[in-house]
Structure 1
Amino acid sequence: MTVSADSPPADGGLPDPEAVLDELLELGAVTEGDDGSLSTTSAFEDVRRVYHDTYARMDDGGVESTVADLFGVDRTEAAALLDSGEVTRADVTAYLSVRSFADGALDSPTLAVAANLLVRLGPGTPVPEAFEELDDGTYRSFLDSNAEAVLTVWRNYCDPCEAMKEDLPAILDAVPDGVATAGVDGEAVPEFRREFGVESAPAVLIFRDGELRETLTGRRRPETLADRFADAFGADA
């Protein structure tokens, strides 16, 4: 990402990523797990969600204007940066988000490095801990081993997904005994989505006898899902 530096380092280069990571940890934008893994915090993601929603819908001209304003370039250069992939909407979202989150604590070069780190870190998996998480390399073997299954699809920055998670204990209680459950990150499983025609989240896929019987998209109440599970897995289904 190319930026115009407000306060460039003494050597004229960008700050060391490890030092910037330490600053993000201190600010509370990133957290380190017991196993040493790094992920963004929910507090930071609450900020990023706002910018993500704005820039996901914005037309190309609006994004070009933002890049030009942020990085001190003209519209033609901004368009070229976006067309080449040197700057992406995700970069813009991360830059604006960490600038807002840091509230003036980071200069422009540090923000640029921080944004790059935050794009790569991402928000972590949206799949609730209650589910085994599958990916394109494991979902087929899971279904081959579980003829009766309920697979759920989740996505980050998805308000209906977050709302449905509040009902998760009741939803899991509605799943009949002997029916396996698992979840996928909808943005990380293109093969799964293509095979089953799923393009939205949240979604609940019901499998019986190894075949997809029904796909329910959007937030569904536990009582609605309980009825669908009973229909699908009942003795006469």
Structure 2
Amino acid sequence: MSVQEVNDSTFDSSIAKQGLTLVDFGAVWCPPCKALLPIMDTLSTERGDALRVLKVDCDDSPETASRYGVMSMPTVIVFHDGEPVEKLVGLRPKSAYENVLDKYAVKA
């Protein structure tokens, strides 16, 4: 599965699904946001159907960014069954995102 871009009009329906969703709030002009993209792509590929990864451009979707209190970029919010459960502000190493996802992952 790949990173899916969403906006103010498609965001709610995109996170309303069961399971884990990772939402990357950023902007095209933001260098740390660009550095985060390969990490998000890798997580999406490695976790497959167990994780949806969404990207929100804060410039194009200010309502959604404001609703979730995004003040700096990148901000990554983890949603579990459509509810926000964790917020990570700033660029982090891949392991930081993996550790948070592992807390909410359904164990087989």
What band does the TM-score fall into relative to the shorter chain?
0.7 to 0.9
Alignment deviations for residues 64-103 of structure 1 (CA, whole Å, 9 cap, x no partner): xxxxxxxxxxxxxxxxxxxxxxxxxxxxxxxxxxxxxxxx
Alignment deviations for residues 94-149 of structure 1 (CA, whole Å, 9 cap, x no partner): xxxxxxxxxxxxxxxxxxxxxxxxxxxxxxxxxxxx42111111101111235531
Q: 1:151 corresponds to which residue?
A: 23
Q: Which amino acid aligns with 1:201?
A: M
Unmatched runs of 5 consecutive residues or more in structure 2: none
- Secondary structure of the corresponding residue to residue 187 of structure 1: coil
Alignment deviations for residues 174-223 of structure 1 (CA, whole Å, 9 cap, x no partner): 54642222111011112111221112211211111221001111111111
- Are the structure 2 counterparts of residues 207 and 131 from structure 1 closer, same or farther at C-alpha, using a change threshold of 3 Å? same
| Structure ranking higher on relative contact order (CA contacts 8 Å, 6+ apart) | 2
TM-score, L = length of structure 2? 0.81
Higher strand share: 2
1-structure distance, mates of 2:41, 2:76: 15
- Secondary structure of the corresponding residue to residue 205 of structure 1: strand
1-structure distance, mates of 2:96, 2:106: 15
2-structure distance, mates of 1:189, 1:182: 13
2-structure distance, mates of 1:193, 1:220: 19
Q: Which amino acid aligns with 1:142?
A: S
TM-score, L = length of structure 1? 0.40
- Secondary structure of the corresponding residue to residue 188 of structure 1: coil
2-structure distance, mates of 1:145, 1:168: 19
2-structure distance, mates of 1:142, 1:177: 14
**Equivalent pair of 2:3/2:52 in contact (CA under 8 Å):** no
Q: 2:103 corresponds to which residue?
A: 231
Shift of 1:234: 4.2
Q: 1:104 corresponds to which residue?
A: none
Unmatched runs of 5 consecutive residues or more in structure 1: 1-129
- 1:140 is aligned, of 2, 6, 12, to 12
- Secondary structure of the corresponding residue to residue 92 of structure 2: coil
Alignment of 1:192 onto 2:64? yes
Identity of aligned residues (%): 25
Matching of residues 31-110 of structure 1 within 5 Å: none
Higher helix share: 1
Q: 1:205 corresponds to which residue?
A: 77
- Secondary structure of the corresponding residue to residue 164 of structure 1: helix
**Equivalent pair of 1:176/1:233 in contact (CA under 8 Å):** no
Q: Which amino acid aligns with 1:184?
A: V
- Are the structure 2 counterparts of residues 174 and 197 from structure 1 closer, same or farther at C-alpha, using a change threshold of 3 Å? farther
2-structure distance, mates of 1:221, 1:173: 17
Tell me how large the CA RMSD over aligned residues is: 2.1
